[in-house]
Structure 1
Amino acid sequence: MLNAYFGPMPEAIYNTAVYFKNTYRDSWITNPMSVEMIKDVDKSDVVSASLIESPVLGSISPLMLSGGVKTLMLVKFDRTHVFNA
């Protein structure tokens, strides 16, 4: 279920890039839904949990994915927090 909140929410995570960097798991990257999200949003291909081929940046780590993909993965895999999208 998706809930939308408007206005300040102190318990929400606003810096999703930093949170993602410190919490993601390799299994998130290779999950079939994540592979699709990375392909659709970043137009990149997952080679392995630590290697993604980007048409713009070349070979990148998961930490170099777009903020949108990182936030989508956090929403999917971390159901205990609220993320600023």
Structure 2
Amino acid sequence: MSDRAVHVTVQLRQVTVNAGDREVSLSYPGILLTGIEDGEQVWQRWVPFGEDPSEEDDERLLAAMHRALLWQQHELPGP
């Protein structure tokens, strides 16, 4: 059986959008889940969250973490 691990980190993502006559850069905080199998990165999932997360944001993060941990325990093929 392969060796699996899930790394959890906080990551700030930058997005540039066109706002009419200028470009605006926005930052979004989120949690980055990274699946490592036999020392190699095999998947990543970024889940955004804000300064005032909603119940829906919380549920989305919990679902992603639950799926990642099931993958780590070899109960799922991949998140």
Regarding TM over 0.5, the answer is no
TM-score, structure 1 as length reference? 0.27
Which of the two has greater helix per residue? 1
